[in-house]
């Protein structure tokens, strides 16, 4: 240990493996995927996937073996995710040792088919709550709009229009119009 410290002091940086680097920075795995509340599975999956993708990059897992990457993915996904993974069937050409295959299958399981009409219904029914800030309302509308399959040319204008319609204070609405 003393020699390693001397090397660092003298300007030489010892080689550190990616997994050691993750431990060095105390990078925490995301919380296990929660699949218990059926009304929030799609949103839970999207958040978990983003967190795990960030973890994958930060901890430099791409430098590890495929087997290690898969084991880390299965460890991070938690019990609920493992139970779902065990139900999957695979085509002969699918690499069952590739964590991306599991990620893709979980995506289909958690999100499934998007019902545009229902998603747009939720978007259009959303009004600003009396105690909610405008920023939070706008953020919620943007989140809801992501699953509505609005075309890019209308996406922002539909959100803008809904902001004006969703605010119940007439003076604020007049200012927006």
Q: What is the pLDDT of residue 7?
A: 47
Query: Is residue 2 over pLDDT 80?
Result: no
Mean confidence (pLDDT) of the chain: 80
Q: What is the pLDDT of residue 4?
A: 47
The contacts found for 57-66 with CB under 8 angstroms, 24 or more apart, are 58/22, 58/25, 58/27, 59/18, 59/19, 59/21, 59/22, 59/27, 60/18, 60/21, 60/22, 61/18, 63/18, 64/18, 64/19, 66/97, 66/98, 66/99
pTM over 0.85: no
Q: What is the pLDDT of residue 9?
A: 45
Q: Between the ranges 1-10, 72-81, 105-114, 151-160, where is the mean pLDDT highest?
A: 72-81
């Amino acid at each position: 240990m003393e020699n390693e410290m001397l090397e660092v002091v003298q300007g030489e940086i010892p080689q550190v493996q990616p997994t050691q680097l993750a431990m060095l920075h105390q990078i925490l795995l995301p919380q296990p995927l929660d699949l218990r509340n059926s009304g929030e599975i799609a949103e839970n999956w999207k958040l978990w996937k983003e967190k795990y993708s960030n973890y994958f990059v930060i901890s430099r897992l791409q430098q590890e073996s495929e087997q290690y990457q898969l084991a880390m993915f299965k460890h991070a996904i938690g019990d609920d995710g493992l139970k779902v993974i065990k139900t999957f069937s695979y085509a002969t050409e699918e690499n069952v040792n590739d964590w991306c295959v599991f990620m893709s299958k979980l995506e289909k399981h958690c999100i499934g088919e998007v019902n545009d009409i229902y998603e747009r219904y939720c978007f259009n029914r959303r009004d600003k709550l009396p105690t909610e800030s405008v920023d939070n309302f706008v953020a919620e509308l943007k989140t809801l709009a992501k699953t509505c399959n609005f075309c890019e040319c209308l996406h922002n204008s539909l959100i803008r229009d809904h902001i004006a319609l969703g605010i119940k204070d007439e003076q604020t609405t007049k200012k927006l119009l």
